[in-house]
Amino acid sequence: MAKVTVNRLDGFIGKGIRYHYDIPADVMYARLAAKMGAESYGEETDEGFILLRSLDEDSLVGVTIVGYWERFGHGRLEDAPVSDVVKGVRQVAERMLTPAA
């Protein structure tokens, strides 16, 4: 059986959110695509997430999750299909960065 090893996953959720998952470090980064160049600062939540807020408007522009797989994954990351990992990253990033309707 062939095995492919990847160190990161990058992509977009629709046109609005860009994500990057650093697999060896288990850190997921997500940012509003329209705010990629915005200067920001980080604010840690009680849950340990780092919310990125723009300096000029103080609005939410991104999130960093240290220990992403440890918090949200199921089973061993090494055994998870890439499609499942991408699906999970997308769900978490979209939930955290999409305003409630």
Residue 3 lies in a domain: no
Report pLDDT for 85.
Answer: 87
Helix and strand totals (H; E) in the chain: 2, 6
Residue 76 lies in a domain: yes
Tens digit of pLDDT at every position of the chain (101 positions): 666 778 999 999 888 999 999 999 999 999 999 999 999 999 999 988 999 999 999 999 999 999 999 998 988 888 888 888 888 888 888 888 877 43
Residue 64 lies in a domain: yes
Residue 44 lies in a domain: yes
Q: What would the two tokens of residue 12 be? A: 């977009």
Report pLDDT for 79.
Answer: 85
Residue 2 lies in a domain: no
Domain residue limits at 58: 8-97
pTM: 0.85
Q: Could you give the number of structural domains in the chain?
A: 1
Q: What would the two tokens of residue 63 be? A: 């999130």
Residue 1 lies in a domain: no
